[in-house]
Structure 1
Amino acid sequence: MNASIAAVSSPGRDVRIHPLPYERLLDARPLFQVDLVVIHCTELPDLATAREYGERVLYPASGTGNSGHWYVDRDGGIERWVDPARIAHHVRGFNPRSVGIELVNSGRFPHWLDSRHQAMDEPYPEEQLEALAVLLRTLCAELPALRWIAGHDDLDTDQVPASNDASVLVHRKRDPGPMFPWPRVLEAVPLQRLPLTG
């Protein structure tokens, strides 16, 4: 095991702490600022590929990249890559008030913006959903202002030209996608779906 990785316990679930190399470069914030959790899916084949993407420096001025705070693998394993007391880049316009949870799921991989490949038909395994519910309940106990939950697609509704045909528009973000069981998750946790305007 890498020396930078440690395991901590949450009620009913171990969380592997695996900080991104640039974690300390992300802006700090008080935990009482966090009132929203955003559910994502990686749209990548596995956790190792997601880690490669997460470690990429996309913002040279700050030396940081895009990542969620927690990653939940298909087998229910949980890793924390960014401390919730730091602002991760995971959803445009909502980062300062939110934490991001990424579920490993192929989504539209590898043709994210191809209009012929917009189906997101990989189901979320039972172990992954159970781990997500445990993580969410733990966060509700640890983050005093946490009240809301949303999908990435709820918050980023932009459409962009398709990669295969610029005359066709596709959604930039569709995760967690149509296979995500919102009613089940909302029933299992003390959070409300974020009201959306517009």
Structure 2
Amino acid sequence: MLPDPPAPPIAFEPLPYQGRLDPRDTGDIDMIVVHCTELPDLPMARRFGEEVLYEGSQTGNSGHYYVDRDGSVHQYVAIERIAHHVRGYNARAIGVELVNRGRYPDWLAASHQAMDEPYTPAQIDALIALVRQLQAQLPSLRFIAGHEDLDTTEVAATDDPDVKVRRKRDPGPRFPWAHVMSRVPLQRMI
């Protein structure tokens, strides 16, 4: 058995609207959802996270944690707050975003659905350590899923409206599920 990676230091860098996100009881959190940013780098992911998309609450889309390619971990939303990262599961889930280009910049183009950037070993080690740390902190944590497992919506492709593409494909085919699942004591929801 491989030794556990050390717990990552976490840089807490709350989004400007974090205080407007709905609060929650951490005992209700039973899932981690793994995403990829589908953006070139962490600064761009931060800018996207800061965008206000919901007029009523003056909040936007974001995960709780972001793991950069070098394995650094950044927390943008406290786990006591409900971040907007996956339809229908936000109240019970922690969103973890891995910096990865994904399908950037043509996310919904039928001609650009390949997700071929591999995740770095440092990212995966940091993710595993973060999941283990969160499980020690939250006894209710039981499940892990990819965004693509929970949101299977298809939409018309931007470059060919007669073709349907998956709205969400992250973390994508390069994510090492078998390795991660062998190292974290959570059940995968698919």
TM-score using structure 1 length:
0.92
What SS does structure 1 have at the residue aligned with 2:162? coil
Could you say which residue in structure 2 is the equivalent of 1:5?
A: none
Runs of 4+ in 1 over 2 A off after TM superposition: none
Query: What CA deviation, in whole Å up to 9, does each residue of 1:28-73 have, x standing for no partner?
Result: 0000000000000000000000000000000011010000000000
Q: Distance in 2 between matches of 1:143 and 1:68?
A: 17
Could you say which residue in structure 1 is the equivalent of 2:51?
A: 56
5+ residue gaps, structure 1? 1-10
Q: Distance in 1 between matches of 2:188 and 2:122?
A: 23
Answer yes or no: is 1:173 the counterpart of 2:159: no
Could you say which residue in structure 2 is the equivalent of 1:6?
A: none
Could you say which residue in structure 2 is the equivalent of 1:116?
A: 111
Deviation, structure 1 residue 25: 0.3
Could you say which residue in structure 2 is the equivalent of 1:36?
A: 31
Answer yes or no: is 1:188 the counterpart of 2:183: yes
Letter of the 2:141 partner, please give it: L
- Asked if structure 2 preserves the Cα contact closer than 8 Å seen for 1:31 and 1:144, the reply is no
Find 1:135's aligned residue among 125, 130, 136: 130
Deviation, structure 1 residue 12: 2.9
Q: Distance in 2 between matches of 1:92 and 1:131?
A: 25
Could you say which residue in structure 1 is the equivalent of 2:63?
A: 68
Count of residues in Structure 1 that have an aligned counterpart in Structure 2:
185
Query: What CA deviation, in whole Å up to 9, does each residue of 1:119-156 have, x standing for no partner?
Result: 00000001111101100000000112000000000000
Query: What CA deviation, in whole Å up to 9, does each residue of 1:137-187 have, x standing for no partner?
Result: 000001120000000000000000000010000000000000000010011
Q: Distance in 2 between matches of 1:91 and 1:156?
A: 7
Letter of the 2:33 partner, please give it: V
The Cα RMSD (Å) is 0.7
- Asked if structure 2 preserves the Cα contact closer than 8 Å seen for 1:21 and 1:55, the reply is yes
